């Protein structure tokens, strides 16, 4: 019970997956590939997870815990890397996830993985904001220059 609480408290990304039986060496390989991205695989019984979730802010994840499940948890939001590894493991099906306290469906996780990194988005925003003052300046200068040109025509 304590480990389940810690998994949900200490990680920014918690993915709930359906686990279908697979050979032990495949599980070891999957764990190895996920560990490269600082993603841990957690096996918890639903009988332990359900009571913990029912008393937490994650209670909307409860419907996902019906069959055999595993949790993929990470202190970082490595959704793209997780999806890349899971694509090669057909026995593990992503059902949904909670990323930065936002509950997402499988499609939501895929959309989250497609978004640009935060640094790129910040760079685009800064670029757009830097463009505005220069455009404002040229627009303000255009008025007097146009007025002068019109007056010159009439003189």
Which of the two residues, 18 and 148, has the higher pLDDT score?
18
The number of angstroms, rounded, from the C-alpha of 31 to the middle of its chain's C-alpha atoms is: 20
User: Residue 41 in 3-state DSSP?
Assistant: strand
Closest Cα partner for 42 from 54, 30, 55?
30
Strands 92-99, 69-74: parallel, antiparallel or unpaired by DSSP? unpaired
Average pLDDT over residues 29-47: 89
Q: How far apart are CA 153 and CA 106, in angstroms?
A: 66
Q: pLDDT tens across 81-118, in order?
A: 999 998 988 888 999 998 888 888 889 889 888 886 66
Residue 146 — pLDDT band, cuts 50, 70, 90?
confident
Give how far Cα 92 sits from Cα of 4, 18, 41, 71, 149, Å: 20, 6, 11, 11, 71
Residue 72 — pLDDT band, cuts 50, 70, 90?
very high
Lowest mean pLDDT segment, chosen from 48-52, 67-71, 138-142 = 138-142
Give how far Cα 141 sits from Cα of 19, 138, 150, Å: 65, 5, 15
Both structure tokens of 126: 């800064």
Lowest mean pLDDT segment, chosen from 5-14, 74-83, 112-121 = 112-121
CATH class of 2-114: alpha beta
CB 93 within 8 A of CB 17: yes
């Amino acid at each position: 019970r304590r480990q389940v609480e810690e998994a949900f408290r200490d990680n920014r990304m918690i993915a709930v997956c359906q686990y279908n039986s697979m050979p032990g060496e495949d599980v070891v390989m999957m764990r190895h590939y996920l560990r490269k991205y600082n993603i841990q695989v957690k096996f918890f019984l639903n009988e332990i997870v359900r009571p913990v979730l029912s008393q937490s802010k994650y209670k909307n994840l409860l419907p996902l815990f019906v069959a055999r499940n595993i949790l993929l948890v990470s202190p970082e939001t490595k959704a793209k890397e997780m999806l890349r590894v899971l694509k090669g493991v057909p026995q593990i099906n992503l059902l949904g996830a909670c990323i930065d306290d936002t509950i997402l469906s499988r499609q939501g996780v895929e959309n989250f993985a497609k978004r640009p990194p935060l640094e790129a988005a910040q760079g685009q925003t800064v670029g757009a904001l830097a463009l505005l003052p220069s455009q404002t300046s040229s627009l303000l200068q255009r008025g007097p220059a146009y007025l002068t040109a019109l007056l010159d025509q009439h003189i």
